[in-house]
Structure 1
């Protein structure tokens, strides 16, 4: 963020800085070398001592709905962030005040391009659910009489998110530049990726497409489904789906036949989504699952979904199989084939850390433990050792953890390995099918031949560019991130010095003229010029001395 942007957002910036200090992050604020005006306006007493990750969660809660949503999305990147932080961020809940329908109505009317009574025969103007991005209303379609849920985006939420994000990105960049111990987490990079994901979620058409695609690919529509989407009355900021009359999983009696059945079907569905279809619900926590009166399981809120290629699914099969067998050596071998962003790859170190992660989360001999938490821990080990896990792998691990916790809620004896085995067999049949193997071999052979045919043309193109002098070499200077700020500050001081000099010269010339009015026997205009020169000169000297102490 540029300096003038920071000043333009001074009020919100001060609120964020105040919240940081109140939650015990004053030392971090001083380390990022913020403008002095930002430090001088802070007068906040810190809260009682808590763990650092708990304080991060409190910061998100204090900053409001936008930061809560951002924190919830950060909790879906266990490969990049510490387990303690992920645990705290998963506790974030939407606790926002409902907007009046006078404010929400115009958004609904604009997206529908029609009056409310032209589309709905009934519409309850009191929301049944409120979140940081939108609110949900209960209504009935005029055309079909179907009872529907209408999700409407809050007015101006995009602008507010953009403003808060720019300020948080400025803080993240300062932390990345000035806090060496936090550089490995690359907070600016994480924020930029989360912003792209949030922009996708703000477009409700993506959620509609995800739900529609799942229902098309779902092989078990009798027992598992996503809400039907009414595309003709949905848009970028309004989503209309069928009304799901069901109960949350924590309302199911435990133990019960319904709980046992739904837990197994939910886990089977998720593994089918991940390993067979390669398209899955990225956040199947308890709040996004509903059980209908006839015992069907509904996956709701498809704002975030993950996608895996065929090869990614096969790699996951190998990883899951090795994890269930407690084979840390095989997992380390798999990690060696994944893309790497760094050079510090030590397979023996990774293998030791994986062995500890398996031992802490899962017992291969009995099949007991938390598979989701163990996979998340392994992905974090990969990331800490310079291996690029990727967003979709991380979403998958988070989804498995969520569905595992939901399964435990419905069935205290829930076992992931028992549910996982049938899906694993299906994938192995697909992978080892002679027809599939031959098809893959033929595809690779064709691609290889095409690439060989392209080699002469590519070499000719490179030589032509060399002949025309079109080949350029780019150099990137590292460690010069603050050069622009330093040059700008120096230019400002030089300019101010020139202005002071001009004031002194002009005032001296006026003094010699003797023009009236006078002050202490000298021309008043000249005296005012001397005073202004003195004030600006003293301020300039003070600023130079202060900058020297700071650096």
Structure 2
């Protein structure tokens, strides 16, 4: 067994200075402080990976030693600050572990941004490598067991990385379409099973914000939290006036931690923006999506803003008795402390307790869909994070929904809201032209796009949607569809898609669709609602549940029930304004068409045609050349990086060369996949 010897580093890592640790260091004793300093310095040494490469090139260590050392860095447990990997065996030990984790999060906010970057990417690469290893295992039961273990590690790793990544884990816990079920179940614990901080620290934060002792603010205050989340925790208390309240207290050091983490997340967004092939015709701006996410994240740590949003949400649903929003007590609220009415409930995915209380599960599923459609279409002010940790229910009003967290709220502009109403109505009316008009109104479809191709594609998907609706009724078509075998259904879908080949190519080349950042949270919310609905009702189908809402949508679009009724009959009888206008202007249109035909006969009017087969061939040739060019550029930059390393060039130049090489190399496999798709 060959012992791996790490070469001496040319430039010694700078020691962590006392002032860089900040005021948080006073909370640690001398032993803990030394351990944290050692961890930060170790991370700095990991940043000096280029010295390992230099040593390998110069022959100071063998290639096998270099590979072994680098592999060890990537697959070993990530360095942690203020967190000990000990298992809690009692409540005291669990509280101590939670306190250590909280201290680690605070220290990360004051630590070195480079060490934080290493910690994040080491965790990401370690997780990817472990998942790739499972591809070699053929036994499904063994793979499932391994994934359960990896899910626990993933959950623990996100907890160690802190609140920003806990929020990421909460988002991923609703994406059953992209993650295995074993990971989903592990990540679901992040919704409400996040370690809290001590009651003493909570009281200290309250006293700092209000400038007086806790007993002058509350008549009683329970130091044990009733719930803990990524950004704060909730304590039960009693006001001086006697009302029982829930007090939400923010974690310390969040703003500093966000500043560090969002730098890395923005870098990821820039890379995604460069690598996204946009072959689906959608023009996603990943940097804008990041900026929108960052904006909402900073708003979420302002509890004054959250309280105002809660009152606005409550005002919107004041006439809906089956929706409850806790009352806000402003006299005992601040930017880091939010005091609200104490409303106990059952978590909406706790099926056993819901059945025990006799709450109608199907009605809850229907109401969850109805409430969100109203948020989007009627008010344009919607909850971005309706996961089970933020929504509860009780037996009042036959199954009342209780919303708790209003930190992440967003709203549509008037045009987008009106366009969304028209979009949903057009989908159910099977109107492809109206659907495209709605997409233009919402800013999703470019106004100068090829409407003919887009409408043909819309007609195809509307047909698929109508088929889905037909499965749920008792019509002859539904019976015929349900009698088809899976192979026959796939064959029919393949034939329909084959007819769209040229239109899809045209749309893919023109990139007519834009992706507004706000819709990121709408999709996320619908994903969460789908998970909640499926848990409550196995036959949950949002498309079917939205049908009764169409009448309300029509009234909303026309302004009143009377106007909606008149317009419905006018449409059936051909008495719409558009129909009458077409009748009056028909002679003029006939004369115009006669002029156009005469111009065509004289050769004064020329028509431009597109040969999509030739365009497709040219596109493939250009794509092959582009992919080969990127590979050549990556090779040249890699050679330049190695040459700069051997020449002991400045670190910045070497890192720039290697980073650019990695960026171009990453685009090569994407180009190969695009070529194969032609």
Q: With the length of structure 1 as denominator, give the TM-score of the two structures.
A: 0.62
Corresponding position of 2:378: 276
Equivalent position SS for 1:306? strand
Q: Confirm or deny that 1:299 pairs with 2:407.
A: no
Matches within 5 A, 1:280-359: 280-294=382-396, 295-325=399-429, 330-339=434-443, 345-347=449-451, 348=453, 351-352=456-457, 355=460, 359=464
Q: Which moved more, 1:14-23 or 1:342-351?
A: 342-351
Whether contact under 8 Å (2:324, 2:402) holds in the other structure is yes
Matches within 5 A, 1:151-166: 151-166=248-263
Matches within 5 A, 1:138-149: 138-142=236-240, 144-149=241-246
Whether contact under 8 Å (1:61, 1:67) holds in the other structure is no
Q: Confirm or deny that 1:266 pairs with 2:360.
A: no
Corresponding position of 1:102: 200
Q: Distance in 2 between matches of 1:180 and 1:315?
A: 27
Corresponding position of 1:118: 216
Whether contact under 8 Å (1:61, 1:68) holds in the other structure is no
Matches within 5 A, 1:143-292: 144-170=241-267, 172-173=269-270, 179=275, 186-249=285-348, 250=350, 251-253=353-355, 258-292=360-394
Q: Residue 84 of structure 1: which of 164, 175, 178 is its match?
A: 178
Equivalent position SS for 2:327? coil
Whether contact under 8 Å (1:283, 1:398) holds in the other structure is yes
1:10–1:119 CA distance, 2 compared to 1 (3 A): same
Equivalent position SS for 1:241? strand
Corresponding position of 1:137: 235
Equivalent position SS for 2:514? coil
What CA deviation, in whole Å up to 9, does each residue of 1:327-347 have, x standing for no partner?
556534533444369899555
1:241 CA drift (Å): 1.0
1:210–1:181 CA distance, 2 compared to 1 (3 A): same
Corresponding position of 1:399: 525
Q: Residue 19 of structure 1: which of 123, 140, 156 is its match?
A: 123
Whether contact under 8 Å (2:423, 2:438) holds in the other structure is yes
Whether contact under 8 Å (1:75, 1:89) holds in the other structure is yes
- Unaligned 5+ runs, structure 2: 1-13, 15-19, 21-43, 48-111, 137-146, 479-506, 565-636, 662-678
Q: Distance in 2 between matches of 1:312 and 1:547?
A: 42
Whether contact under 8 Å (2:171, 2:524) holds in the other structure is no
Q: Distance in 2 between matches of 1:137 and 1:332?
A: 50
What CA deviation, in whole Å up to 9, does each residue of 1:190-224 have, x standing for no partner?
33321111001111112111111122221434321
Equivalent position SS for 1:84? coil
Q: Which moved more, 1:101-110 or 1:323-332?
A: 323-332
Equivalent position SS for 1:222? coil
Q: Distance in 1 between matches of 2:428 and 2:223?
A: 51
Whether contact under 8 Å (1:207, 1:302) holds in the other structure is yes
Q: Residue 426 of structure 1: which of 552, 561, 564 is its match?
A: 552
1:320–1:282 CA distance, 2 compared to 1 (3 A): same
Whether contact under 8 Å (1:77, 1:394) holds in the other structure is no
1:544–1:329 CA distance, 2 compared to 1 (3 A): closer
Aligned residues: 417
1:9–1:342 CA distance, 2 compared to 1 (3 A): farther
Q: Distance in 1 between matches of 2:359 and 2:650?
A: 80
Q: Which moved more, 1:256-265 or 1:538-547?
A: 538-547
1:397–1:18 CA distance, 2 compared to 1 (3 A): closer
Whether contact under 8 Å (1:326, 1:364) holds in the other structure is no
1:316–1:86 CA distance, 2 compared to 1 (3 A): farther
Corresponding position of 2:581: none
Q: Distance in 2 between matches of 1:401 and 1:140?
A: 37
Q: Distance in 1 between matches of 2:646 and 2:471?
A: 78
Whether contact under 8 Å (1:208, 1:229) holds in the other structure is yes
1:67–1:155 CA distance, 2 compared to 1 (3 A): closer
1:21–1:355 CA distance, 2 compared to 1 (3 A): same
- Unaligned 5+ runs, structure 1: 26-44, 370-380, 438-485, 494-535
1:92–1:71 CA distance, 2 compared to 1 (3 A): farther
1:302 CA drift (Å): 1.1
What CA deviation, in whole Å up to 9, does each residue of 1:212-243 have, x standing for no partner?
11222214343212111111111111111111
Q: Which moved more, 1:321-330 or 1:191-200?
A: 321-330
Corresponding position of 1:442: none
Whether contact under 8 Å (2:384, 2:522) holds in the other structure is yes
Corresponding position of 2:168: 71
What CA deviation, in whole Å up to 9, does each residue of 1:119-172 have, x standing for no partner?
112211111212221111111112x21111111111112111211222333454
1:203–1:255 CA distance, 2 compared to 1 (3 A): closer
Q: With the length of structure 2 as denominator, give the TM-score of the two structures.
A: 0.51
What CA deviation, in whole Å up to 9, does each residue of 1:362-420 have, x standing for no partner?
71213489xxxxxxxxxxx99x9453343444433443443344344334444545653
1:98–1:47 CA distance, 2 compared to 1 (3 A): farther
- CA RMSD in angstroms comes to 4.9
1:291 CA drift (Å): 1.8
Q: Distance in 2 between matches of 1:238 and 1:324?
A: 45
Q: Confirm or deny that 1:128 pairs with 2:213.
A: no
Equivalent position SS for 2:242? coil
Q: Distance in 1 between matches of 2:270 and 2:559?
A: 50
Equivalent position SS for 2:266? helix
1:145–1:432 CA distance, 2 compared to 1 (3 A): same
Q: Distance in 1 between matches of 2:244 and 2:276?
A: 55
Corresponding position of 2:9: none
Matches within 5 A, 1:483-494: none
Whether contact under 8 Å (1:68, 1:92) holds in the other structure is no
Equivalent position SS for 2:133? coil
Whether contact under 8 Å (2:237, 2:244) holds in the other structure is yes
Q: Distance in 2 between matches of 1:336 and 1:548?
A: 43
